[in-house]
């Protein structure tokens, strides 16, 4: 561990107990470094089920972990950059998550039973993130796909501005259902601005002025619904929701007009 | 009307009496200047004066001249300005260019002179005395921790010292140049040279090709806003991780690799589909404050097992305050890129008019970090047109720990600074992905030439240290007393912390 002085935080390892095959950490008052250190050590020692109790905003849970069959359960609030650069594990949060969930995540699954904050799925290149409730600003920015790596983010509530900005691949879904903001539009402005790959599905409608000029807006076709259904099934199974209800309203498809949005902007000296 | 008002900048002249009519010029030119019709016929308007044909002509019968076409003289409306207006009137486009800022702004390095020892403090003979060029990249502890060595003495505690620093055999690293902007063979040349010289190369923002995995201990992996090629494996492979915020050639401007350059190999290294634009905008959309930057620094540390994380910014006004924030955010080094830094592609207006010289940036950042008592918390890397070992020594005397070289390394590989990298047709096989051009650089040959350059500069640095009467490069760091300025105004001297010659 680096010799940094970390002011104001107790430098203590979390209390550990076992519960069946799971290792349970009590995160109450534990600084993120000690918590994540303990998680990494447990994973290295062979733990495949980890429960974090009393999570209260500890950052970077799951960051950089590369174990496929690892399941982490977070009880409480997960802090910023949950599952950042993660490749493989599944994380289930019984509570809310803060900003930066799934930052540049490569594969794995994150299920959040509450709401999530800003920049969810930034640069995400694989895996799935499912949020039951609302999400913040700049969700799905720079999501990108490559060959078999196709990221999927489904948000059950409403989103703020810049949803899917610069999106280059993958699938972003916004349902507008479990929301604290029933009177707000389903998404804010600048939706898909600079988008040059991937697809966004909205359960409901957006006005063209809400969207970037780089995207086209259309009603979802039967083929779209066919592509969407297995994803929504997984989403509903993961969160105990009713797929028939989710599919009972029309969806809007938003996709880029060009893969080369800036192809004609320059003159070569 | 003619298709263009723009006249050729150069004239290709062939002395047909000497010409062997071998056709090599035709084959060597990446820009298709030559047709062959019983003898080579040049199209002047395509020539970029890269000298590939000149170099390879066995008869030495090609000359390239500036087109002597007389523009009506005008100091205000220079010929290049007129050309730019015509080009934009024709296309409506942002003028795109490459390499470093060619404008005649004062070059501060050329107004600084190194001191030397005479009688009272003798110089040292580097041929006989050891001269230490080794330096370390990374945060230095506020106090070293020692532990008993078991034999009645003490030794440096394993994590209480500098265990997370990266040792460099000489205070030079290679600047970030992405695979995509340069060819894979250039990346291999630099990686092999870095290993041989005991220094580091830098992936730039284009990911790490698997051919470079054997050299990963000598590679800095970069994380830019587009996160191209970034995954947990990538982060774990690099010796250090660098967050790219800005670049000296284009402060405040993002990266954009046009879709036509994203071929299969580039696409697999960047992990994006072939043919789509690779856009990494200037802002990281998860960084809107120093606290956000800290969050990314620590996310990268958590994900990589606490590797050193550096932050690269362009030198701009207020750089000292920005640097202080970056250091307080936990960066292990800060990379300052001056306004003469190179680039594979940038809007000409930005390259030529935005940013400040690295000399000033290094001096004010070093000074500020010292005043705040945090200079030891991060190393400073200086870049942006380091052209010689003299520039290296002067940058270090102004406060840098290490310098980064980009254009100089490319020149070692054949670059003639023709400023046409953005066309993707580099005849020297450097800034291109066309296989018939990229194979012109053999990595083994390239590694040899670049290593030679680093070794030569290192020897020169030893000579300089000897002349200054110090025997370690770290003793020169921030030692502005060993510099004198000539032809700089009082205020610039004060900002640099350098006395004028004669004082
Ligand atoms: S390379 Fe030289 S000798 Fe050969 S055809 Fe061209 S100009 Fe003539
Ligand atoms: S790398 Fe090639 S295209 Fe770029 S300046 Fe050098 S010679 Fe010209």
Cα R_g (chain B), whole angstroms: 24
- The confidence band for B440, taking pLDDT boundaries of 50, 70 and 90, is very high
Touching A: B residues 133-152, CB under 8 Å? 139, 141-142, 145
Average pLDDT over every residue of A92-121: 98
Residues 6 or more apart whose CB falls under 8 angstroms from that of A67 comprise A43, A48, A88, A89
Please state the atom number of ligand 1 nearest to the C-alpha of residue B14: 7
How many Cβ atoms are within 10 Å of B246's Cβ, its own excluded?
Answer: 24
B371-to-A51, B357, B365, B376, B410 alpha-carbon distances in Å:
46, 22, 10, 11, 37
Average pLDDT over every residue of B334-342: 98
pLDDT at B403 over 50: yes
- Are the CB atoms for B397 and B388 separated by under 8 Å? no
Q: Does B259 touch chain A (CB under 8 A)?
A: yes
Structure confidence by residue, pLDDT tens digits, B367-401: 999 999 999 999 999 999 999 999 999 999 999 99
Q: Does A57 touch chain B (CB under 8 A)?
A: no
Which tokens go with A35? 């918590």
- Are the CB atoms for A141 and A116 separated by under 8 Å? no
Checking ipTM against 0.85, whether it exceeds it is: yes
- Ligand 2 site, residue B430, Cβ cutoff 6 A: yes
CB contact under 8 A, A60 and B299: yes
% of residues, chain B, pLDDT over 70 = 99
Average pLDDT over every residue of B194-199: 98
For strands B40-42 and B34-36, give the pairing. antiparallel
Around ligand 1, the residues with Cβ closer than 6 Å are B 14, 19-25, 40, 57-59, 61-62
Query: Which residues of chain B have a CB within 8 Å of the CB of A1?
Result: 159, 306
- The confidence band for A92, taking pLDDT boundaries of 50, 70 and 90, is very high
Average pLDDT over every residue of A36-56: 97
Please state the atom number of ligand 1 nearest to the C-alpha of residue B36: 5
Which region among A112-116, B283-287, B293-297 has the lowest average model confidence (pLDDT)?
A: B283-287
pLDDT at A16 over 70: yes
Which tokens go with A153? 């983010």
pLDDT at A1 over 60: no
From B341, B353, B308, select the one nearest B327 (Cα to Cα): B308
Query: What is the overall mean pLDDT for chain B?
Result: 95
- The confidence band for B262, taking pLDDT boundaries of 50, 70 and 90, is confident
Average pLDDT over every residue of B292-316: 96
- Ligand 2 site, residue B50, Cβ cutoff 6 A: yes
d(CA B163, CA B301): 15
Q: Does B364 touch chain A (CB under 8 A)?
A: no
Structure confidence by residue, pLDDT tens digits, A246-264: 999 999 999 998 777 676 7
Average pLDDT over every residue of B243-263: 88
Q: What is the separation of C-alpha B232 from the centre of its chain, rounded to a whole number of angstroms?
A: 26
d(CA B393, CA B402): 10
From B208, B298, B205, B296, select the one nearest B246 (Cα to Cα): B205
Touching B: A residues 154-173, CB under 8 Å? 162, 165-166, 168-169
Which region among A176-190, B140-154, B180-194, B456-470 has the lowest average model confidence (pLDDT)?
A: B140-154
Residue B183 CA to ligand 2 center (angstroms) comes to 12
Query: Which residues of chain A have a CB within 8 Å of the CB of B160?
Result: 3
Structure confidence by residue, pLDDT tens digits, A57-85: 999 999 999 999 999 999 999 999 999 99
Q: How many helices (H) and strands (E) does chain B have?
A: 16, 23
d(CA B323, CA B293): 12
Q: Global pTM?
A: 0.95
Residues 6 or more apart whose CB falls under 8 angstroms from that of A134 comprise A115, A116, A155, A157, A158, A159, A178, A179, A180, A181
For strands B333-337 and B309-314, give the pairing. parallel
What pLDDT score does A3 carry? Answer: 41
């Amino acid at each position: 561990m680096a010799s940094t002085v970390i002011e104001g935080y107790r430098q203590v390892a979390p209390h550990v107990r076992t519960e069946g095959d799971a290792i349970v950490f009590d995160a109450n008052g534990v600084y993120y470094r000690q918590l994540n250190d303990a998680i990494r050590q447990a994973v290295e020692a062979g733990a495949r089920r980890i429960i974090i109790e009393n999570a209260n905003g500890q950052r970077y849970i799951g960051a950089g972990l590369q174990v496929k069959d690892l399941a982490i359960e977070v009880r409480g609030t997960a802090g910023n950059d949950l599952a950042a650069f993660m490749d493989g594990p599944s994380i289930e949060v019984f509570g809310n998550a803060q900003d930066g969930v799934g930052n540049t995540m490569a594969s794995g699954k994150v299920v959040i039973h509450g709401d999530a904050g800003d920049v969810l799925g930034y640069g995400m290149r694989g895996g799935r993130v499912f949020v039951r409730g609302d999400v913040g600003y700049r969700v799905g920015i720079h999501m990108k796909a490559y060959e078999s790596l196709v990221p999927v983010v489904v948000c059950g509530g409403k989103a703020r501005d810049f949803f899917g900005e610069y999106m280059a691949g993958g699938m972003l879904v916004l349902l507008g259902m479990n929301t604290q903001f029933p009177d707000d539009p389903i998404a804010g402005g600048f939706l898909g601005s600079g988008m040059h790959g991937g697809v966004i599905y909205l359960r409901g409608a957006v006005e063209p002025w809400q969207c970037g000029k780089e995207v086209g807006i259309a009603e979802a076709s039967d083929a779209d619904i066919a592509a969407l259904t297995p994803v929504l099934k997984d989403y509903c199974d993961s969160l105990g929701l009713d797929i028939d209800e989710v599919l009972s309203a029309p969806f809007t498809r938003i996709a880029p007009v060009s893969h080369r949005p800036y192809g004609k902007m320059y003159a070569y000296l | 009307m003619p298709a263009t008002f723009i006249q050729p900048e150069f004239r290709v002249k062939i002395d047909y009496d000497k010409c062997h009519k071998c056709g090599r010029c035709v084959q060597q030119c990446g820009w298709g200047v030559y047709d062959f019709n019983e003898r080579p016929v040049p199209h002047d308007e395509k020539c970029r004066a890269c000298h590939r044909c000149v170099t390879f002509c066995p008869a030495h019968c090609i000359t390239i001249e500036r087109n002597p076409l007389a523009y009506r003289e005008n100091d205000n409306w220079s010929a290049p300005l007129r050309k730019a207006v015509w080009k934009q009137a024709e296309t409506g486009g942002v003028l795109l260019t490459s390499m470093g800022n060619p404008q005649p702004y004062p070059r501060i390095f050329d107004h600084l002179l190194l001191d030397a020892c005479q009688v009272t403090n003798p110089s040292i003979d580097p041929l006989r005395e050891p001269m230490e060029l080794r330096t370390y990249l990374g945060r230095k502890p506020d106090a070293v921790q020692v532990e008993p060595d078991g034999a009645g003495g003490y030794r440096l505690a394993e994590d209480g010292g500098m265990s997370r620093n990266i040792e460099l055999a000489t205070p030079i690293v290679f600047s970030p140049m992405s695979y995509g902007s340069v060819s894979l063979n250039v990346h291999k040349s630099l990686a092999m040279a870095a290993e041989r010289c005991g220094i580091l190369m830098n992936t730039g923002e284009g990911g790490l090709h698997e051919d470079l995995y054997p050299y990963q201990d000598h590679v800095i992996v970069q994380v830019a806003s587009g996160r191209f090629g970034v995954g947990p494996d990538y982060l774990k492979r690099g010796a250090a991780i660098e967050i790219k915020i800005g670049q000296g050639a284009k402060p405040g401007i993002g990266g954009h690799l046009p879709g036509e350059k994203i071929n299969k190999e580039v696409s697999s290294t960047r992990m994006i589909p072939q043919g789509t634009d690779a856009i990494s905008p200037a802002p990281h959309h998860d960084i809107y404050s120093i606290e956000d930057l800290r969050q990314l620094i620590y996310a990268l540390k958590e994900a990589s097992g606490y590797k050193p994380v550096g932050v690269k910014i362009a030198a701009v006004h207020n750089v000292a305050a920005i640097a202080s924030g970056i250091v307080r955010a936990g960066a292990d080094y800060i990379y300052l890129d001056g306004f003469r830094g190179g680039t594979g592609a940038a809007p000409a207006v930005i390259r030529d008019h935005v940013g400040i010289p690295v000399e000033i940036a290094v001096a004010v950042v070093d000074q500020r970090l010292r005043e705040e008592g945090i200079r030891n918390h991060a190393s400073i890397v200086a870049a942006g047109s380091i052209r010689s070992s003299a520039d290296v020594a002067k940058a270090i005397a102004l406060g840098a720990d290490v310098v980064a070289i980009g254009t100089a390394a490319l020149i070692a590989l054949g670059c003639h600074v023709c400023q046409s990298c953005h066309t993707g047709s580099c005849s020297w096989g450097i800034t291109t992905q066309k296989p018939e051009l990229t194979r012109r650089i053999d990595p083994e040959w390239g590694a040899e030439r670049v290593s030679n350059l680093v070794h030569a500069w290192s020897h020169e640095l030893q000579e300089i240290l000897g002349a200054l009467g110090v025997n370690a490069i770290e003793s020169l760091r921030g030692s502005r007393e060993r510099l004198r300025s000539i032809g700089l105004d009082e205020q610039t001297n004060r900002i640099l912390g350098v006395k004028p010659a004669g004082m």
